[in-house]
Amino acid sequence: MNMLKTTLLMGLLTVLLVTIGGALGGRNGMTMAFLLAGGMNFFSYWFSDKIVLSMYGARQIEETDNPRFYGIVRRLAQRANLPMPKVYLIDSETPNAFATGRNPEHAAVAATSGIMRILGDDELAGVMAHELTHVKNRDILISTIAATFAGAITYLAHMAQWAAIFGGGRRDDDEGGGVFGMLFMAILAPIAAMLVQMAISRSREFGADAGGASISGNPLSLANALQKLEMANQRIPMEANTATAHMFIVNPLTGGGLMTLFSTHPPIPERVARLQDMSRTHSF
């Protein structure tokens, strides 16, 4: 069901991209929109992992550097029948973790030094099993493509705004959408793209929680870890880039109320409730 939902949402992002490209430049605009998205996706596919790891100052470690963390990842990777990913440590007091890489053969998992201090071994195993599920399901690639599409739509929307201001929309319907249509798309398309991207990310988080609980064999440990991480992130917010917030196991960006509608993560209480239900209804 999650995969069907993700496929439909990715289709909606494609429609948005083509529509705003058409509003900006008719058939030629549609073609340019596809080329822009293709180029951005090619770059993201090959280089996004290196960029995000460098962005947070992640340092690759071996088992001798941190036997506890590395050993947990190695055991979980074997249990999940995955190649051993590269393991990275981030020097940050904010407890959090993420996975990156274009496929299971080129994957990496990263965790902050803060998460090592507040989680027990079972809880840390639950968190890393969650991240390895992202690797196994290729969620990283899906999320990267979704974020790239949303970025391309936002970029085209800005172009449409300037084109409308300077009269670029005053052409017939075959070549463009008109000034008012262009402004309408320029305002609404980025909001719609962001909401779709958030929905894709939230859907994949639920799936990774379920997969992580299955790999680790202990849904309650992951539930306890999520509660600890939520409280700690509220006390010690992370200086995270909004473009990479969807990668972390808990949202590193603070905000409540209306901002929860634009969150890349489902509410922690809902995630915890699902994990608690798994512990009652499944045997591990």
Which helix (H) or strand (E) segment holds residue 109: the answer is strand 107-112
Query: What's phi and psi for 96, nearest 5 deg?
Result: -165, 170
Choose between 28 and 16: higher pLDDT: 28
Q: Note the pLDDT tens digit of each residue in 113-164.
A: 999 999 999 999 999 999 999 999 888 777 767 766 776 777 777 776 666 6
Residues classed as catalytic: 131
Measured between its terminal Cα atoms, the distance across the chain in Å is 23
Structure tokens at 240: 């995270």
Q: What is the mean pLDDT of the chain?
A: 81
Whose CA is closest to 120, among 271, 221, 223, 268? 221
pLDDT of residue 208: 94
Query: What's phi and psi for 272, nearest 5 deg?
Result: -65, -40
The rounded percent of the chain whose pLDDT value lies above 90 is 44
Cβ partners under 8 Å of residue 104, min gap 6: 82, 83, 85, 135, 136, 138
> Considering the entire predicted model, what is its pTM?
0.78
Q: Which DSSP letter does residue 85 get?
A: P
Q: Note the pLDDT tens digit of each residue in 204-230.
A: 899 999 999 999 999 999 999 999 999
Cβ partners under 8 Å of residue 20, min gap 6: 33, 153, 156, 157, 160, 185, 186, 189
Q: Note the pLDDT tens digit of each residue in 270-279.
A: 999 999 999 9
Mean pLDDT of 227-242: 88
Mean pLDDT of 164-192: 58
| pLDDT band at 176; cut points 50, 70, 90 | very low
Q: How do beta strands 97-101 and 107-112 pair?
A: antiparallel
Query: What's phi and psi for 32, nearest 5 deg?
Result: -65, -35
Contact 25, 172 (CB under 8 A): no
Q: Has residue 19 got a pLDDT over 90? A: no
pLDDT of residue 26: 72
Q: Has residue 96 got a pLDDT over 80? A: yes
Structure tokens at 48: 């996004």
| pLDDT band at 166; cut points 50, 70, 90 | low
Q: Has residue 23 got a pLDDT over 70? A: no
Cα 234 to Cα 142: distance, rounded to the nearest angstrom:
28
Choose between 31 and 144: higher pLDDT: 31
Q: Has residue 262 got a pLDDT over 60? A: no
Cα 198 to Cα 49: distance, rounded to the nearest angstrom:
20
Choose between 105 and 195: higher pLDDT: 105
Cα 178 to Cα 282: distance, rounded to the nearest angstrom:
57
